[in-house]
Amino acid sequence: MTAPDLQAAADSLAIGISIIDRATAHAASTPGIDDQQTFLYDLAHAASAIEISRSLLDYGAKGDVEGKIACAFIADALAELQTKLFGQEESWGVEQGEIDMARNFIAKFKSPDFVASLSTVNAPMHLDEDFEMVADTFRRFAEDKIAPKAEHIHREDTDIPEEIIDGLAELGCFGLSVPEEYGGFATGSESDYMGMVIATEELSRASLGAGGSLITRPEILTRALERGGTEEQKRHWFPKIATGETMVAVAVTEPDYGSDVANLKVAATKVDGGWAISGVKTWCTFAGRANVLMLLARTDPDRAKTHRGLSLFIVPKPQAEGHSFEFSQDNGGKMEGRAIPTLGYRGMHSFEIAFDNWFVPEENLIGGEEGLGSGFYMQMAGFENGRLQTAARAVGVMQAAYDEALAYAQDRVVFGQPVAEYQLTQTKLGRMAAIIQGSRQYSYTVAQMMAKGEGTLEASMVKAYVCKAAEWVTREALQIHGGFGFAEEYTVSRLFVDARVLSIFEGADETLCLKLIAKRLLAEAN
């Protein structure tokens, strides 16, 4: 059995770090960033994998199994970097063969036999007693209450049962980020972020749409209110969010503008006692069941002001069931929504909503008068945390896919032996195990950073890497099932289609890599 070699891992990783640093400096000195989009996209993903690798060295030092996981992940990241570099060295500003100095390490820890040895490994998470209790509590709820209903919700595209929402409310799920003084459970410490990440992963293992994602929307509004809300708004809304009395949906994206938030068209016009909202929002997940929308609208008609002309509102609405709704106000305002049919991520339903002079009270402008023109920044405060949470959701989906694939491979006999005994299957499972644990540990690291007011770049990195990795993990888990993986009666088919959305929402992968990760890397290089 190959023993981990963390010194060789650190030495080899240093080569990768050097390549990333010099490639970043090269790009920063090269004019025409928009002409380098393909390279910068690859650089952002490579930098994310290398940064996760760097963080895993500490995890690897905690034991033999942990060391093997760290070595396997680092070797995998370096091999992927090697693939990106081949034939593109000039674009990266490096010499041919520079990564060859890590060749022996890659060969040793990416060898089929070594990776296969990790196929059934149960790597420790190294959570303290309190966090272990959080994980256990939410895991049991997910297994008992969500998992038995997950397939029905997916296949029939039904609403999430109220008993799931009520159960999560009783567990305090929606108050994990709400400060204690407002009726929540957040103490302002590292445990707030860690608790959210752990709970999200465990719920997402049972269902992405009917589990982990239920936390995301109240989390985003909570962070936005923390960033810019008035004291009166916090005292009014935080207790309602914490108890689940107020369920939240987010209305930011528009039919013509997704990640390009600065050009949003939906307008909020000042009227007596408040604002009138007009325009169309799309991809408003959970907007039917929700009784408030966190809505970003243009309050300054001068479009030249771009994001500086946007403000954030809490928009009350009646609760609705099913795939469509239509509401009217006494003053003539209208709101009409229809659910967009989707491949997966079902249960919450993603709506397109048309607003026609929908009235919003003055007090629901987040931040009051001081919040005018600051909506973009408040929204981003919510979305930064949403990216970390999305990474945790992806880890949960990956873990579920791995569990399903391993169980099937151990039970399924082909050509006289279980599928799990074939080397190719074992190497797939072993790579899954390393990717999942590396992703999980880095999500913990980023949670700790964000608790200190740091980690903005790292939250984007973990989201970019983990969500893309989830596509590979779920694909291979489905492949291990063979033809049965393509059948809806097997859970892995749901996990596969659910995973596809992860690289799209909370910042599309391309935009995240180019506008946030690469842009930040280049800025730091100058």
Summarize pLDDT for 364-378 with one digit per residue, the tens: 999 999 999 999 889
**Does the fold of domain 248-376 match that of domain 6-110?**
no
Contact 436, 402 (CB under 8 A): yes
φ, ψ for residue 315, nearest 5 deg: -110, 105
> 259 pLDDT exceeds 70?
no
Give the range among 136-145, 178-187, 327-336 with minimum mean pLDDT: 178-187
β-bridge pairing 267-271 and 274-285: antiparallel
pLDDT, residue 385, reads: 81
Helix locations, 336-414, DSSP H? 375-411
pLDDT for the residue 260: 65
Looking at domain 6-110, its CATH class is mainly alpha
Mean pLDDT of 119-129: 93
Taking the domains of the chain in order of start, what are their residue ranges? 6-110, 248-376
**Is residue 486 predicted with pLDDT exceeding 70?**
yes
Residue 386's pLDDT is: 84
What pLDDT is stored for residue 497 in this prediction? 96
pTM to 2 decimal places: 0.94
Element containing residue 360 per DSSP (H, E): strand 350-361
> Helix or strand or coil: residue 312?
strand
Distance, in Å, from the CA atom of 301 to the CA atom of 276, rounded to the nearest integer, reads 13
CB 420 within 8 A of CB 443: no
Q: Which CATH number fits domain 248-376: 1.20.1730.10, 3.40.1190.20, 2.40.10.10, 2.40.110.10?
A: 2.40.110.10
The count of residues in the chain is 526
pLDDT of residue 307: 77
Is 138 in contact with 23 (CB distance < 8 Å)?
no
Phi, psi (degrees; rounded to nearest 5) at 454:
-115, -170
Q: Collapsing DSSP states into helix, strand and coil, what is residue 257?
A: strand
Residue 161 phi, psi (nearest 5): -60, 140
pLDDT band with cut points at 50, 70 and 90 for residue 136 = very high
3-state secondary structure of 352: strand
Q: For residue 185, what are its two tokens? A: 């459970």
pLDDT band, residue 525 (cuts 50/70/90): confident
* Residues 314-341: b if buried by 16+ CB within 10 A, e if exposed: bbebeebeebebeeeeeeebebbbebee
Residue 367: CB atoms within 10 Å:
21
pLDDT of residue 106: 97
Q: Tokens 């990956």 label which residue?
A: 398
Judge whether residue 383 has pLDDT over 90: no
Whether residue 3 is predicted with pLDDT greater than 90 in this model: the reply is no
> Per the structure block, which two tokens stand in for 68?
């093997």
What is the helix, strand, coil percentage profile of the chain, to 5?
60, 15, 25
Question: What is the 3 state secondary structure string of 321-346?
Answer: CCCEEEEECCCCCEEEEEECCCCCCC
Supply the residues annotated as catalytic: 506
Q: What pLDDT is stored for residue 305 in this prediction?
A: 79
One DSSP character per residue, 272-285 reads TTEEEEEEEEEEEE
Mean pLDDT of the chain: 93
State the pLDDT confidence band at 2, using cuts at 50, 70 and 90. Answer: confident
Lowest mean pLDDT among 64-68, 150-154, 257-261: 257-261
CA 22 distance to own-chain centroid: 29
pLDDT in tens, 68-121: 999 999 999 999 999 999 999 999 999 998 898 999 999 999 999 999 999 999
Number of Cβ within a 10 Å radius of residue 149:
18
